[in-house]
Amino acid sequence: MSDKDRKDEYSQKIEKLEIGTEVTGRSSKWTIMKKLGEGAFGSVYVVQKSEDRRIQAAMKVEKKAADDPTIKLEFTVLHSMKDEKVGIKCMDYGDFYDSQFLIMTLCGKDLQYILDNHSSPLSVEAVSRIGIHCLHSIKILHDHGYVHRDIKPANFAVELEGSRILILDFGMARCYGRKLYGNWMLRRERESAPFRGNLKYASIRAHARLELNRADDVYSWLFMVVELLCPLPWSNFHNEDAIEYQKKEKFESFIKENQLQKCLAVSDIVVSSRNEIRIETRLLVMLSCSYE
């Protein structure tokens, strides 16, 4: 069999990973139980630890030849947060034929699923609680020197056993700085940057093709939280210019019209913060006090 034929066979096996397939990581063997989904950067499966079937996890698979590999980045981000009590944990990693995989914490339903399947509107109290959990997860990521750049409901999920909400999918994350001897050493911002994120939740700076920072993640978080209460004005728009206009010119009046006073207060802080290091702390203090 030629190298090309062998590679084609391996590629077909990757694309058709079947239930029961076993992969070998650096520390354990894992058996595929079912496929969870597929995205632009690879496929996600539920796996079971072969040596201890009580342990289940999520496995993300990506071809090594990917032009913009994300698994290596996700591993780096997760490793930086390994000592955090709350968050997704990297459990193993390895190679499988011409692909690489990452084994991580298995979560429950994501917020997009909850948003799509909730039979009645979420209460302000419930959304406040969800918003605080999500913002805390964002803060943990930021505190380790990364911006997420793809904040949206599908990238937050409830713990499989518990009630906390965890942030997912770091394939678009970017290191913005490092903390040395108690002081932040910020990475120099590029004058322009490719668009990152989702059009519906992207910040104004993302539309302007500027470097994204902590405040941009929080801006996207605000759009997400508002959507949990009522549909965003641009929900059915597909043209980027029209969406950007709605965000710039209509969002503030929209939250006033819907009497979302807490969201208006948050918006004022976000808009004025630029790249403030403590923006999440300010918001968490304000939201926690008003929630109580």
Q: Which residues does the annotation place in the binding site for ATP? A: 60
Q: How confident is the model at residue 40 (pLDDT cuts 50, 70, 90)?
A: low
105, two tokens? 């914490």
Residue 287 confidence (pLDDT): 79
Percent above pLDDT 70 for the chain? 89
**Residue 251, pLDDT above cutoff 90:** yes
Q: Which residues does the annotation place in the binding site? A: 60
- Better-predicted residue by pLDDT, 272 or 153: 153
Show the domains of the chain with their CATH numbers: 21-105 (3.30.200.20), 108-291 (1.10.510.10)
Residue 218 confidence (pLDDT): 94
Instruction: DSSP for 91-149, please give it.
Output: EEEEEETTEEEEEE--EEEEHHHHHHH-SSPPPHHHHHHHHHHHHHHHHHHHHTTEE-S
The number of beta carbons lying within 10 Å of the beta carbon of residue 139 is 20
Q: How confident is the model at residue 86 (pLDDT cuts 50, 70, 90)?
A: confident
Q: Looking at residues 250-258, what average pLDDT do you find?
A: 90
**Residue 92, pLDDT above cutoff 90:** yes
Residue 1 confidence (pLDDT): 42
The number of beta carbons lying within 10 Å of the beta carbon of residue 148 is 28
Residue 208 confidence (pLDDT): 97
Percent above pLDDT 90 for the chain? 60
Q: How confident is the model at residue 275 (pLDDT cuts 50, 70, 90)?
A: low
Instruction: With CA atoms as reference, report the closest residue to 247 among 210, 207, 280, 279.
Output: 207
- Better-predicted residue by pLDDT, 29 or 179: 29
Instruction: For residue range 2-25, list pLDDT tens digits in order.
Output: 444 444 444 444 555 789 999 999
Angstrom distance (rounded) from CA 104 to CA 42: 15
Interior angle at CA 111, CA 271 and CA 133, nearest 5: 60
**Residue 136, pLDDT above cutoff 70:** yes
pTM of the predicted protein model: 0.87
Residue 11 confidence (pLDDT): 46
Q: How confident is the model at residue 264 (pLDDT cuts 50, 70, 90)?
A: confident
Cβ contact 173:69 at 8 Å: no
Q: Looking at residues 271-284, what average pLDDT do you find?
A: 75
Name the least confident of 94-103, 236-245, 266-275.
Answer: 266-275
Instruction: For residue range 217-236, list pLDDT tens digits in order.
Output: 999 999 999 999 999 999 99
Q: Looking at residues 243-260, what average pLDDT do you find?
A: 92
Most confident of 30-39, 90-99, 145-154: 145-154
Q: Which residues are catalytic?
A: 150
